[in-house]
Amino acid sequence: DVKVTQSSRYLVKRTGEKVFLECVQDMDHENMFWYRQDPGLGLRLIYFSYDVKMKEKGDIPEGYSVSREKKERFSLILESASTNQTSMYLCASRTLGTGGGEQYFGPGTRLTVT
Amino acid sequence: QKEVEQNSGPLSVPEGAIASLNCTYSDRGSQSFFWYRQYSGKSPELIMSIYSNGDKEDGRFTAQLNKASQYVSLLIRDSQPSDSATYLCAVSQNTGNQFYFGTGTSLTVIP
């Protein structure tokens, strides 16, 4: 079974803090993704990585950065947390198999910024 | 803009009935299609993938794909209360890295 884990299920941070969200997958997947999910807005892609040290911006990268130093680990960084970054953050990974490959999600981190 | 459209619902069906969930997409280059189930407060869980025109069955679930009409659907037979969730449609190009998600259809199965 594919397993994607995230460092925290719930996190409460103060405005202006630097926040690190970690994601680890154990299936040697090439692609990893960070999304945020808000009611009424669906899943929105923040950043993705298609290889170690490679990253590409998604639809809403402002206020975020990412790091992928090892294939199995993809980190999302909120440089200076703001209240509008309160959300559910979902990490996913995907292999580039025949037909495009399936994407699997971690359990999510519900971040509250106060 | 690659768009994936779903009826937001909510869709309510009685227990034992067939639930039909629909999805259309705008990018004709899309080659891979997926259905995810998401329970409230949980992350999306992959339930079906389909790559070729026609039907694909897995237990009580059937995915249907019509690339000419740019349409993919999910049928849930013998619906159970445990099927009550939001169902997300996702599409991807074979050579691309991104998935494009619909905003989901909320399904309630009434006992």
Residue pLDDT, tens place only, A60-89: 999 999 999 999 999 999 999 999 999 999
Q: Which residues pair with B106 in a beta bridge?
A: B86
Shortest Cα distance, chain B CAs vs residue A55, angstroms: 11
Q: Which of A111, A29, A28 is nearest to A64 (CA)?
A: A111
Is the Cβ of A39 closer than 8 Å to some Cβ of chain B?
no
What is the pLDDT at residue B95? 60
Q: Does residue A68 contact residue A49 with C-beta atoms inside 8 Å?
A: yes
Q: Which of B17, B22, B2, B13 is nearest to B65 (CA)?
A: B22
Is the Cβ of A90 closer than 8 Å to some Cβ of chain B?
yes
Tokens read off for B34: 């997926």
In the predicted model, is pLDDT for residue B94 greater than 70?
no
Q: Over range A45-72, report the average pLDDT.
A: 94
Write the secondary structure of chain B as one string of H (helix), E (strand) and C (coil). CCCEEECCCCEEEECCCCEEEEEEECCCCCCEEEEEEECCCCCCEEEEEECCCEEEEECCEEEEEECCCCEEEEEECCCCHHHCEEEEEEEECCCCCCEEECCCEEEEEEC
Confidence of residue B7 (pLDDT cuts 50, 70, 90): confident
The residue of A44, A95, A103, A111 whose CB has the most chain B CBs within 10 angstroms, and thus the best one to mutate to test that interface, is A103
Residue numbers of A between 68 and 87 with CB closer than 8 Å to B: none
Sign, CA dihedral A5-A41-B25-B108, equals: positive
Q: Over range B95-106, report the average pLDDT.
A: 84
Q: Which residues of B touch A31 (CB under 8 A)?
A: 97
What is the pLDDT at residue B71? 95
Look at A45 and B88 and tell me if their CB atoms are within 8 Å.
no
The residue of A3, A105, A112 whose CB has the most chain B CBs within 10 angstroms, and thus the best one to mutate to test that interface, is A105
What is the pLDDT at residue A95? 77
Of B46, B88, B93, the CB nearest to A104: B46
C-alpha dist (Å) from residue B74 to A3, A50, A109, B28, B90: 25, 29, 28, 20, 12
What is the pLDDT at residue B109? 97
Is the Cβ of A102 closer than 8 Å to some Cβ of chain B?
yes
CA atoms within 13 A on the CB side of A112: 5
Average pLDDT score, chain A? 93
Residue pLDDT, tens place only, B16-72: 999 999 999 998 888 889 999 999 999 999 999 999 999 999 999 999 999 999 999
Higher per-residue confidence, B72 vs A42: B72
Confidence of residue A99 (pLDDT cuts 50, 70, 90): low
Confidence of residue A6 (pLDDT cuts 50, 70, 90): very high
| DSSP assignment letter at A99 | G
DSSP reduced 3-state for A28? coil
Shortest Cα distance, chain B CAs vs residue A81, angstroms: 22
Shortest Cα distance, chain A CAs vs residue B15, angstroms: 27
Q: Which of A49, A55, A16 is nearest to A33 (CA)?
A: A49
The rounded distance, in Å, linking the Cα atoms of B75 and A113 is: 39
Residue found by looking up tokens 């440089």 in the block: A79
Q: Which of A111, A6, A95 is nearest to A103 (CA)?
A: A95
Size of interface A-B (CB pairs under 8 A): 53
